[in-house]
Structure 1
Amino acid sequence: MGQVEFELACAAIKELKRPVSDQEKLLVYSYYKQATQGDCNIPAPPATDIKAKAKWDAWNQNKGMTKMDAMRVYIAKVEDLKKNEAG
């Protein structure tokens, strides 16, 4: 698995027809950010900004994970979402 598979997974997630839960969205987002930018490098948003704080927390939980490992997990999660959609 590598960059090509990651880019295909990024395109595939946009094609999903069934709704994805907020928890799944956060998980996919966190691995995407880790794969593309590495460890979270922005200050935590205020707790009053619930959406931004949830995204920051999700990304920050992956601290220390390599970009390649994050790509692998992202690809696997997208494949899982595609299988669930297929039934």
Structure 2
Amino acid sequence: MGLKEEFEEYAEKAKTLPENTSNENKLSLYALYKQATVGPVNTDRPGFFNMRERVKWDAWKAVEGKSKEEAMSDYITKVKQLQEEAATASA
């Protein structure tokens, strides 16, 4: 299985992470996903009154230096880590 296929598989698995996954972890996944699928930030930073989108934009901007492949690999690793944490917490 190639990196892109594995990434797509883990993008689906990420949708099944528990509701109590921290916002910090969700932001990290969002940023890596955007970097892997879109590449570097290609929009202006949202305004001050749109805090939710602004925080997401900032998270994406923070991983801007990663290649698409590196972002895919980091995304897969992060989903695996969160799945393990969820399994341990529910055991």
- Residue 8 of structure 1 is matched in structure 2 by 9
Does residue 60 of the first structure (1) align with residue 56 of the second (2)? no
- 1:1-87 to structure 2, matched below 5 A, reads 2-87=3-88
Q: CA deviation at 1:18?
A: 4.6
Tell me the amino acid that sits aligned with residue 35 of structure 2.
Answer: Q
Unaligned runs of 5+ in 2: none
CA distance in structure 1 between the aligned counterparts of 2:19 and 2:41, rounded to whole angstroms: 29
Unaligned runs of 5+ in 1: none
CA distance in structure 2 between the aligned counterparts of 1:86 and 1:33, rounded to whole angstroms: 26
Percent identity (aligned):
37
Structure 1 segments of 4 or more deviating over 2 A?
Answer: none
Tell me the amino acid that sits aligned with residue 47 of structure 2.
Answer: P
Tell me the amino acid that sits aligned with residue 56 of structure 2.
Answer: K
TM score, norm. by length of structure 1 = 0.94
Tell me the amino acid that sits aligned with residue 58 of structure 1.
Answer: A
Task: Tell whether the 8 Å contact from 1:18 to 1:85 is kept in structure 2 after alignment.
Answer: no
Q: How many corresponding residue pairs?
A: 87
CA distance in structure 2 between the aligned counterparts of 1:43 and 1:18, rounded to whole angstroms: 30
SS in 1 for 2:47: coil
Tell me the amino acid that sits aligned with residue 23 of structure 1.
Answer: E
Q: Map Cα deviations across residues 39-60 of structure 1 (whole Å, 9 max, x no partner).
A: 0000000022110000000001
Task: Tell whether the 8 Å contact from 1:6 to 1:71 is kept in structure 2 after alignment.
Answer: yes
